[in-house]
Amino acid sequence: MRSSRWFGALMIAALALTLVFLALPVLAIFLHTSPGQLISSLGDGSSTDALRLSIECSLAAVAIIIVVGTPAAYLLATRSFRGRSLVVTVIELPLVLPPAVAGIGLLASLGPNGILGDFVKSTGLQLVFATAGVIVALTFVSAPFYLRQAQAAFGALDPSWLDASRTLGASEARTWLQVAIPTARQGLAAGLALALGRALGEFGATLMFAGSFRGVTQTTPLAIYQDFSTDFTGALALSAVLVAVSAAILLGVKLLSGPALFAGASS
Amino acid sequence: MLRVEAQTRLGALDLDVELTAGRGKCLALAGPSGAGKSSILRVIAGLLRPQAGRVECAGKVWLDTQTGVNVPPEERRCGYVFQDYALFPHLSAWRNVAYPLHHLPRGERRPRALGLLERFGVAELADARPGTLSGGERQRVALARALALEPSALLLDEPLSALDTRTRANAARELGALLRESGVPALLVTHDFTEAALLGDEVGVIDQGRVVQQGTAAELAASPASSFVADFTGAVVLTGHAAPAADGLTRIELDGGGAVTSTDTARGPVAVSVFPWEISLEPAGRADFASSARNHIRAEVLSLTPVGNRVRVGLAAPQPLTAEITAAAQHALELRPGTRVTATWKAAATRLIAI
């Protein structure tokens, strides 16, 4: 009895310490900024440019990830083939890659002197020092977050649902759209939230691959970094806004992934 | 008419079967788990391609490995009721039933689905999610969904196993009536012989990927082709050593002690099979065995399980026995676990199978 009370207290203390440590920096951002400062910093053109660019590029990256990543994750989760675990490992590699290494890698592959540099040039697409480059960098670093979650979500589906759909006259494609995706939606939404959060916060790879030009490639984290040595209050205000936007997006995705979202999927 | 031939290797199992189910007839495949029962259904539905085989239903060839025909599952119109019913959790009951009605205009799907649910007595659950339904309700929705397809064959995988014992007998009766009225050949698999006997016009006993015997349940029970079938059909199987005795009878020294007499002839090691309903029970210690029955085994009641209007009595004896008696007899004898009894049956009710 006494030892279990002692153990319980230890666990509560550990949780309290974790909570304080993780919440304190976020709280501090808001404690340091008054609402007035927040509004005035938003009036600053460079801040709004950075925020708009962050949101636009993150949404574009996540859209690409969903369109290409969802079928890829489904294939990985439901088929077994030679070299499958190697493919999974390669896909997860960007998770552990330092952002600076990711940036160098992108330059070496898609940059002007990279392996595919001539091909990129021939398509007329400008990546380096361009907004498209930001989207490429965000896609690269945040895709594995979605792919991992989506793969787990599809892998957890009851295979008899998919079999039942086929015997009920649905093709593989209809089965995928009307059974697999709706039943895996919570896992997919969780992956989407993680990828979006990662994209909004991306810093290193963007800086190295796309640069930091106001209105073109300077996303919010880059703007915060540029501001903080000269205008700490401005950097704080921008940080507060980024936290709020990220939290709102996360919350929105969680709410949307509830049962209501796909209730009418097959009507 | 549904005709199936399939040979394929599945892990350690060598599946090799040939089956025919007639129009409006239900063939029940019974066998232990891992015997390959579900795999046969998957071959018919097109979810599993055998190494060699042919599936033909209502004059259409669904699979022929020799000519390379392999119709995809969605074009076979084969109603498949899965073991756990496989209702789509994100769709309400009526949308589950409407799922195969994709070819109908939108406005006609709901009335049609409601009509099917009505037929199964669950119309009031149309808007409920599968997660909120009981096992019996899920079964009805799954059946309605499979029949919405207007299938040319109906496949049922352990249709009663997800139901609790109280509702099972009722569900079995309803399902039996439905299968007869549906007019399509049905193939049902179950691990429970009693269930197979109840639902199937014919029963095929399947073991290790092969149909070891096929016939009516009564035929299987009366003349099992092997001790496996005898055991599976529910007959009590004892082992012993047979030797000829006086009057042309056979005396069997049972393994573990005791002896019984049979009118069958055999010599050497045998399986002794006697049906539970041939065994009568008498209070232990009654000295006057002025009975025509030749076989008396002392036993102790282990368990009492109601089966329909009867009670199956599990008995502890040198080799376990099962008797089937009426509930009235149970009360008259005041049977409860621990009661000592003598199990009695006639030599003529004692079948011998050489092993």
Note the pLDDT tens digit of each residue in B15-38.
Answer: 999 998 887 788 999 998 888 899
Within a domain: A252: no
Strand partners, B344: B280, B296
d(CA B80, CA A237): 60
Q: Say if B63 is an interface residue toward chain A (CB within 8 Å).
A: no
Indicate if the pLDDT at residue B238 is higher than 90: no
Å from A74 to nearest chain B CA?
Answer: 18
Q: pLDDT at position B324, please?
A: 84
- Chain B residues in contact with A160 (beta carbon < 8 A): 82-84, 86
Within a domain: A150: yes
If you average pLDDT over residues B170-185, what whole number do you get? Answer: 78
Q: Say if A181 is an interface residue toward chain B (CB within 8 Å).
A: no
Indicate if the pLDDT at residue A117 is higher than 90: no
Q: pLDDT at position B223, please?
A: 57
If you average pLDDT over residues B205-212, what whole number do you get? Answer: 91
- Chain A residues in contact with B73 (beta carbon < 8 A): 163, 166-167
Q: Say if B138 is an interface residue toward chain A (CB within 8 Å).
A: no
Q: Which residues contact B349 (CB under 8 A, 6 or more apart)?
A: B274, B275, B278
If you average pLDDT over residues B319-348, what whole number do you get? Answer: 89
Residue A163 to residue B90, Cβ atoms within 8 A: no
Q: Say if B88 is an interface residue toward chain A (CB within 8 Å).
A: yes
Within a domain: A188: yes
Residue A169 to residue B89, Cβ atoms within 8 A: no
Within a domain: A263: no
| Structural domain boundaries enclosing A176 | 57-217
Average model confidence (pLDDT) across chain B: 86
The more confident residue out of A254 and B103 is B103
Assign B316 to helix, strand or coil: strand
If you average pLDDT over residues B62-69, what whole number do you get? Answer: 94
- pLDDT category at B169 given cuts 50, 70, 90 is low
Average model confidence (pLDDT) across chain A: 87
Q: pLDDT at position A172, please?
A: 92
HEC profile for A43-98? Answer: HCHHHHHHHHHHHHHHHHHHHHHHHHHHHHHHHHHHCCCCCHHHHHHHHHHHHHCC
Å from B232 to nearest chain A CA?
Answer: 28
Q: Say if B106 is an interface residue toward chain A (CB within 8 Å).
A: yes
Residue A174 to residue B102, Cβ atoms within 8 A: yes
- Chain B residues in contact with A179 (beta carbon < 8 A): 88
Residue among A158, A185, A266 minimizing CB distance to B95: A266
From residue A9, how far is each of A4, A19, A26, A142, A167 by CA, in Å?
9, 15, 26, 38, 55
Residue among A169, A182, A183 minimizing CB distance to B74: A169
Q: Say if A118 is an interface residue toward chain B (CB within 8 Å).
A: no
Residue among B42, B83, B100 minimizing CB distance to A169: B100
Q: pLDDT at position A264, please?
A: 39
Q: Say if B98 is an interface residue toward chain A (CB within 8 Å).
A: yes
Within a domain: A1: no
Q: pLDDT at position B90, please?
A: 93
Highest mean pLDDT among A20-29, A67-76, B6-15: A67-76
Q: Say if A170 is an interface residue toward chain B (CB within 8 Å).
A: yes
Residue B86 to residue A164, Cβ atoms within 8 A: yes
Å from B39 to nearest chain A CA?
Answer: 13
Sheet with B250-254: list strands edge to edge: B259-262, B250-254, B236-244, B268-274, B351-354
Indicate if the pLDDT at residue A261 is higher than 60: no
Q: Say if A258 is an interface residue toward chain B (CB within 8 Å).
A: no
Percent of chain A with pLDDT over 70: 95
- Chain B residues in contact with A263 (beta carbon < 8 A): 90
Strand partners, B223: none
Q: pLDDT at position B352, please?
A: 84
Note the pLDDT tens digit of each residue in A244-253.
Answer: 888 888 788 7
Note the pLDDT tens digit of each residue in A183-225.
Answer: 999 899 989 988 998 999 999 999 999 988 888 899 999 989 9
Q: pLDDT at position A267, please?
A: 32
Distance of CA A195 to the CA centre of its chain: 2
Residue with tokens 């009335």: B111
Within a domain: A182: yes
If you average pLDDT over residues B139-146, what whole number do you get? Answer: 92
- pLDDT category at B99 given cuts 50, 70, 90 is very high
Strand partners, B170: none
| Distance, first Cα to last Cα, chain B | 37
If you average pLDDT over residues B249-262, what whole number do you get? Answer: 91
Ordered domains of chain B (ranges, CATH)? 2-229 (3.40.50.300), 235-354 (2.40.50.100)
Percent of chain B with pLDDT over 90: 43
Assign B26 to helix, strand or coil: strand
The more confident residue out of B89 and A266 is B89
- pLDDT category at A1 given cuts 50, 70, 90 is low
d(CA A54, CA B36): 56
Note the pLDDT tens digit of each residue in A63-110.
Answer: 999 999 999 999 999 888 888 889 999 998 988 899 889 999 999 999
- Chain B residues in contact with A161 (beta carbon < 8 A): 86, 88-89
Assign B184 to helix, strand or coil: coil
Q: Say if A158 is an interface residue toward chain B (CB within 8 Å).
A: yes
Residue among A168, A171, A185 minimizing CB distance to B100: A168
Within a domain: A262: no
Q: pLDDT at position B166, please?
A: 62
Q: pLDDT at position B165, please?
A: 62
Percent of chain B with pLDDT over 70: 93
Residue B47 to residue A167, Cβ atoms within 8 A: yes
If you average pLDDT over residues A160-165, what whole number do you get? Answer: 95
Q: pLDDT at position B231, please?
A: 66
Q: Say if A257 is an interface residue toward chain B (CB within 8 Å).
A: no
Residue B88 to residue A158, Cβ atoms within 8 A: no
Å from A156 to nearest chain B CA?
Answer: 14
Within a domain: A202: yes
- pLDDT category at B222 given cuts 50, 70, 90 is low
d(CA B212, CA A111): 69
Q: pLDDT at position A131, please?
A: 92
Strand partners, B61: B56
Best residue of B42, B74, B114 to probe chain A, by most A CBs closer than 10 Å: B74
Q: Which of B321, B62, B25, B74 is nearest to B201 (CA)?
A: B25
Residue B149 to residue A170, Cβ atoms within 8 A: no
Q: Output the pTM of the full model.
A: 0.74
Q: Which of B45, B55, B42, B46 is nearest to B13 (CA)?
A: B42
Quote the Cα angle for B317-B321-B325, to 5°. Answer: 120
Å from A160 to nearest chain B CA?
Answer: 6
Residue among A158, A169, A171 minimizing CB distance to B86: A158
Percent of chain A with pLDDT over 90: 51
Best residue of A157, A168, A177 to probe chain B, by most B CBs closer than 10 Å: A168
Q: Say if B95 is an interface residue toward chain A (CB within 8 Å).
A: yes
Q: pLDDT at position B302, please?
A: 84
A251 burial via Cβ count (<10 Å: 0-12, 13-18, 19+): exposed
- pLDDT category at A258 given cuts 50, 70, 90 is low
Q: Say if B94 is an interface residue toward chain A (CB within 8 Å).
A: no
Indicate if the pLDDT at residue B355 is higher than 70: no
Beta pairing, strands B295-307 & B250-254: unpaired
Question: Domain holding A73: CATH number?
Answer: 1.10.3720.10
The total domain count for chain A is 1
ipTM (interface predicted TM): 0.76
